[in-house]
Structure 1
Amino acid sequence: MPSAPKPNGGPRHGARGRARREEILRGAMEVIAERGFRGSSLAAVAEKAGLTQQGLLHYFPTKDELLVAVLRQRDEWDTGGRPEAVEDEWTMLNLEAVVEANAARPELIRTFSALLGESVTEDHPAREYFHDRYRRTRRGMESVLRREWGERLPSGLTPAQAAPLLVAIMDGLQLQWLHEPEAVDLVDAYRNFVLLLDPEAAR
């Protein structure tokens, strides 16, 4: 077992440690995207990150800890490190910007989608994370929709009714796009869905 890092030092702390940690997470994303979580190994991630497996364990003592860190890193990138901003400040333009960013990072989306699909099994270590994430994301989308249109969207739906549909569109479009990027324009399809919520916006 690697020794625990000191509070103000050690491999997990400082700019160098943070940079190395991000390298590991990027390597993990690539490996998971290629093999899925169950087919991935710490040894494969360590090799991708240019470390020994023992070196990797200084940062992530278990595979499950690495998995959760990968998922949380993706959330940090999406929200700029401020997940509360989705509920408190974001607009539909912020959501469109996320969709545009996702279209430029297929490896990250492939990793997320692979983990999401696997997480529906009872014993998957990311099951609780995705359960909580979807609950939080629906709440955030409801807040965004309410800021945009008030208590009733032009389509007649309430923000609470439209929120799970918006989440489903964003995640579902990503799967179609990963399979056929030449046939599915991720950003354009998202904008078309927004027009269904507000047909007047097309005029």
Structure 2
Amino acid sequence: MTELVVRGYANGRARRQLILDEATALFGEVGYRAASLREIATRVGISHPGLLHHFPAKQTLLLAVLEHRDEVDAERFGLDHLQGVELLRRMVELVAFNATRPGIVELYCVLSAESTAADHPAHGFFVARYARFVGQCVGGFEGARAAGQLRPSIEPDAAGRAFVALMDGLQVQWLLDRDSVDMAAVLRATLAELLVADA
């Protein structure tokens, strides 16, 4: 492979990453519906056709943004490397961080509901995402039980699913009334109730 080809490939990957970063920012600021590909292209400093070379449709870009955001969040909070109570506490930290980006929270709430339809473009993404996320939470509670940190009456599977459901429900309540809902505080209190006192 020639140096020119390698450089072109690296430049293309860097440009694609910049598009994802700017699209994530714009979706977070104004929401998916109000965001335009032309505005994203302007922010990146390329033409509209140039953006379409990387992402031929807005839905394609949306799915890439969703996947990218999950990857960045998992890396930032160590979600793929932690276990037990520490994993669950990091998830609460992620929820606290989400309170700083309401556009992204709204995007997820709307799309996760819309994508229950099998023909929705994000259906497969959300099916896989919920399977992974529920699995992580269940695993966190299983780890807590193995470490003697989970109350004896708590079943990890039910606790993991309930924890994810609580996160989702709190996001909707927070979007409707941000001044009266502290998502992270409610999750911390709930987690404390599920764990033994000194966990």
One-letter amino acid of the counterpart of residue 159, structure 2: A
> Aligned to 2:141, which of 128, 139, 145?
145
Distance 1:110 1:48 in 2: 22
Structure 2 residue 44 is the aligned partner of structure 1 residue 46: no
TM-score by length of 2: 0.78
Q: What does 1:1-203 correspond to in 2, within 5 Å?
A: 8-10=6-8, 13-14=10-11, 17-18=13-14, 20-29=15-24, 32=27, 34-36=30-32, 41-47=36-42, 49-80=44-75, 84-85=80-81, 91-150=87-146, 153-154=150-151, 156-198=153-195, 200-201=196-197
By how many angstroms is 1:17 displaced? Answer: 4.5
One-letter amino acid of the counterpart of residue 67, structure 2: R
Contact 1:151 1:159 in 2 (8 A): no
Contact 1:29 1:107 in 2 (8 A): no
Q: 1:121 to 1:31 in 2, by over 3 A?
A: farther
By how many angstroms is 1:113 displaced? Answer: 2.1
By how many angstroms is 1:161 displaced? Answer: 1.5
Distance 2:173 2:139 in 1: 27
Q: 1:83 to 1:197 in 2, by over 3 A?
A: closer
TM-score by length of 1: 0.77
Distance 2:106 2:17 in 1: 18
Contact 1:155 1:196 in 2 (8 A): no
Corresponding residue pairs, total: 193
By how many angstroms is 1:140 displaced? Answer: 0.9
Residues 24-46 of structure 1: CA deviation (Å, up to 9, x unaligned)? 22443355453545x75533543
Contact 1:46 1:53 in 2 (8 A): yes
Residues 103-160 of structure 1: CA deviation (Å, up to 9, x unaligned)? 2222322222232222122321110010011111111111111112239831612111
Distance 1:7 1:175 in 2: 47
One-letter amino acid of the counterpart of residue 8, structure 1: V
Structure 2, unaligned runs of 5 or more: none
Which runs of 4 or more aligned residues in structure 1 lie more than 6 Å from their structure 2 counterparts after TM superposition? none
Distance 1:51 1:171 in 2: 36
Distance 2:176 2:85 in 1: 33
- Aligned CA-pair RMSD: 3.2
107-116 or 68-77, larger mean C-alpha shift: 107-116
Distance 2:18 2:104 in 1: 13
23-32 or 187-196, larger mean C-alpha shift: 23-32
Structure 1, unaligned runs of 5 or more: 1-5
Residues 34-83 of structure 1: CA deviation (Å, up to 9, x unaligned)? 3545x755335434544321111232233332122111111112111776
Distance 2:115 2:5 in 1: 33
SS at structure 2 position matched to 1:85: coil
